[in-house]
A and B are shown apart, each in its own frame.
Chain A
Amino acid sequence: MKHENKFIINNLNVFWGKTQALRNINVEIPSHKILGIIGPSGSGKTVFLRSLNRMNDLVPEIRIDGQILLDGNDIYHPNTDPTKLRKKVGMLFALPVPLPASIYDNIVFSPVLFGIRDRNTLDELVETSLKAAFLWDEVKDRLKTSGLRLSGGQQQRLCLARVLAMEPEVILLDEPCSGLDPISTAAIEDALSILKNNYTIILVTNNTKQAARVADNTAFFLMSEMIEIGPTDQVFTVPKDKRTDDYITGRFG
């Protein structure tokens, strides 16, 4: 089970209007690992990530070509329900966006949508998700206060807890620490390294060091193409492609 591939992506091409945002991506993403995706901005990292939970569907100009299999099922098949897919493949955005509601209501948002009404079950979900996101101790006495009252770092952990409460199988993170201070970043990274035991994690980051710290495998994107993918230590020490080497050592990007 642990060595199976969660995602298999064949010949993925994504077009944004007339420009090609992703070119011929072929990749297998193993479960219960963290895949770090690095690359300069505009290289297609985010578009790639958003193809995996069909968030790109919201942008009418985007056209997707190719095949993405999640546990062997084509996620772009007409029979796939995008809402169920997104429940399975949770997403954390670059900027923390708590909905203007209490901490508690933020976390139970998705469970309630999917029909969980029992108070005890919801209470338990809130507690376990907040604990897993390393936020419980800071907010356990004020679950009814607005999520907007939290600091930026706490808000991002609240958003992580909100994703966890959905009980997904995959967590997509789109530069989740770009607006956070080093301590909050460390808290998120700690959470991720524990969470990978139960989830498949794909982490897009502009911070190369972050990928080196937490990712098991790292992929390098450049100008709509995936240049290289491999075990993180290998990509960072003996990259196969010169462009990867240039990027990691900070010669461009």
Chain B
Amino acid sequence: MIVHPRYTQILAIGLLVFFTVFTLAILVFIIVFIFGKGLSYVTLDFLFSNPRDMGKAGGIFPTLLGTVILPLLAIIIATPLGVGTAIYLTEYTRESRITQIIRFGADCLAGIPSIIFGLFGFIFFVTTLGMGWSILSGSLTLAFMILPTIIRTSEEAIKSVPYSYREVSFSLGATLWQTVRKVVLPNALPGIITGIMLSIGRSIGETAAVIFTAGSSLRIPSSLFDSIRTMSVHFYILAREGISSQNAYATAAVLIISILLINLISYWLMNRFIAKRNK
């Protein structure tokens, strides 16, 4: 039996629309669920006051601080390392067994569960190097965790810059470094930023790698060697220990809002950047 193409066409459209709506529905459901349970407790006071009674009462200010500081430091550490590695691999080496091994290593590293990074960070930074549960241990561990993502996304972004741009740059008397700085990097920037944004999202949501390395202190830290608690860890502890499901959901709502905000801001920045270049 031959089905008329018109009907397969209708069927295809129907299925594709269904898949899309289904995916969106899951996302909306999760957000509505969390917001429904937590958003009403989110007030300015909740955001900017210290927790009391292990987080049963009071706000989440120190964890808000932790959620900003840890990923920020991790990005500051990982970006130059990752982008530098990507530049070296793509522009300064020829494709060889060694670059393949480095690339394979980065891919494997990207697939390692975060709790392994947490354990590594605990053994290496916290105990062996004696940094203790601290902001520094936590952000270094996070940096290691996101490094492969930054390397691979930067590498793809750099590779996607047309070879002819490099050729033109060389033909105009530029050195390799001038070509990288003036032609390759500006054109790879949107892709590199996407990788950085993905990594920020991952580190904000990270719990396992952080709880082992940055600890879970609720005090406001006074130096990089103090322990700190992020919102994800706070949520985990509140929920796991059954301290306060109300505050747990409120924390989750703040977490989701901050990730939404970061994504919105990065899209906005990127569009502005691209529009400016193509003016």
A binding-site residues for B, Cβ under 8 Å: 53, 55, 58, 60, 83-84, 86-87, 90-91, 93, 95, 97, 99-102, 109-110, 113-114, 144-146, 148-149, 159, 162-163, 166
Contact = CB atoms under 8 A, between A and B. Distances in A.
A162 B279 contact: no
Given A100-B187, A100-B277, A146-B277, A84 B164 contact: no
A83 B178 CA distance: 11
10 contacts: A58-B167, A86-B170, A87-B173, A93-B167, A93-B171, A97-B165, A109-B172, A109-B174, A113-B173, A149-B278
A13 to B, nearest CB: 23
Interface in B151-175: 162, 164-165, 167-175
B173 A55 contact: no
Contacts of A53: 171
B277 A83 contact: no
A20 to B, nearest CB: 23
Contacts of A159: 168
Contacts of B182: 109, 113
B170 A162 contact: no
A110 to B, nearest CB: 4
B183 interface: yes
Interface residues of B, number: 20
B173 A110 contact: yes
A163 B187 CA distance: 21
Contacts of A97: 162, 164-165, 167-168
Contact of B171 (A55, A100, A148): A55
B6 interface: no
A53 to B, nearest CB: 7
Contacts of A162: 172
A99 B174 CA distance: 13
Contacts of B164: 93, 95, 97
B207 to A, nearest CB: 41
Contact of A60 (B94, B162, B178, B279): B94
Given A93-B167, A95-B164, A97-B164, A144 B278 contact: no
A90 B169 CA distance: 11
Contact of A99 (B170, B175, B178, B183): B183
Contacts of A114: 173
Per CB-CB distance, the 3 closest pairs between chain A and chain B, nearest first, are: A87-B173, A110-B172, A91-B171
A99 B173 CA distance: 15
Contacts of B278: 100, 146, 148-149
